[in-house]
Amino acid sequence: MNLSGVLFFPVTPFDGAGALAEDVLAEHVRRGLAHGTGGVFVACGTGEFSALSHSEHARAVRVAAETVQGAVPLLAGAGGPLGAALEQARTAREAGADGLLLMPPYLTQGTAAGFAEYVRAIAAELPVIIYQRGSVVLDPAAAVELARIPGVIGLKDGLGDIDRMQRIVLAVRREIGPDFTFFNGLPTAELTMPAYRGIGVDLYSSAVFAFAPEIATAYFNGDDRLLTEFYAPLVELRSKAPGYAVALVKAGLRLRGLDVGPVRAPLTDLTPEHLAELDAILKNGLALVGA
């Protein structure tokens, strides 16, 4: 699977009644495609995966697949209880997704062998990128064993432990080869990309791309001014409340004129004060890139 450039994680829009806003999702995905994303990850963390019903998840993947139409790889979120993850995998496959981002299992903590069996069952349905965060914390040997499972094609890192990741990258590339995909999946990944590039990981997901693709693309093309002038203040704002990693993206989209609705509980939307801060940060970033 050829993932490249900036990876796009759309939000899941909701209408005034709280239902999935399919037309808005389609428009959101079209805008990302128009700005040259190298991969679309629907119904994942930024898409409020944990707040979606099975039917909403299936419909979101279908809408994204009908919009992407094979232009770039499309991956869907899957995870939680094994039975639920298998249902998500099967409906994603039927909708036309190319692969899955496998979220950590919730609450239940098993052995490394048990997690490998969990991954093996889901990877039999569609190619899988494992998401390292929460209960999934790998050492190099465990990462190599997971990478040997047929259908496991990559690892998204949401921990930010550079020492651990360097050892994992070296071990997997030595034992598996250069085609295994690694990418930085930390919130506001651009701020940590200098460190990840230092260990040989150039690919990353961009929450900013979802609401300000002009800024995300300018950074990708080498405008390092944005680290100080845009990304650093954005991360400061993100740290002011749990869940703002998603709420900021939805608020940014609303500020840009796309009504994606609110976040779902237990997440909360920005306070008026924080929304004003985001507006100022966003305007400054857009001015820097001439947008």
Q: What is the pLDDT of residue 43?
A: 98
pLDDT digits (tens, 9 = 90+) for 33-69: 999 999 999 999 999 999 999 999 999 999 999 999 9
Phi-psi map region of 100: left, alpha, beta (phi>0 left; psi -120 to 50 alpha): beta
Report residue 265's pLDDT band, with 50, 70 and 90 as the boundaries.
very high
Known catalytic residue: 131? yes
* Nearest Cα residue to 159 out of 181, 139, 179, 142: 139
- pLDDT for 107 beyond 70: no
pLDDT digits (tens, 9 = 90+) for 22-36: 999 999 999 999 999
- pLDDT for 5 beyond 80: yes
Q: Residues 106-132: what's their mean pLDDT?
A: 92
- pLDDT for 114 beyond 70: yes
Which residue matches tokens 């900021």?
248
pLDDT digits (tens, 9 = 90+) for 138-151: 999 999 999 999 99
Known catalytic residue: 244? no
pLDDT digits (tens, 9 = 90+) for 149-184: 999 999 999 999 999 999 999 999 999 999 999 999
Q: Residues 122-139: what's their mean pLDDT?
A: 96
pLDDT digits (tens, 9 = 90+) for 83-92: 999 999 999 9
Q: Give the span between the Cα atoms of 46 and 207, in whole angstroms.
A: 7
Global pTM exceeds 0.75: yes
- pLDDT for 104 beyond 90: no
Distances (CA, A) of 247 to 22, 41, 156, 207: 19, 18, 21, 11
268 is in an annotated binding site: no
Phi, psi dihedral angles at 197 (to 5 degrees) = -60, -35
**Residue of 131, 204, 219, 244 marked active site:** 131
Mean of pLDDT over the chain: 96
**Residue of 118, 156, 196, 244 marked active site:** 156
- pLDDT for 109 beyond 90: no
* Nearest Cα residue to 182 out of 204, 159, 150: 204
Q: Residues 118-122: what's their mean pLDDT?
A: 97
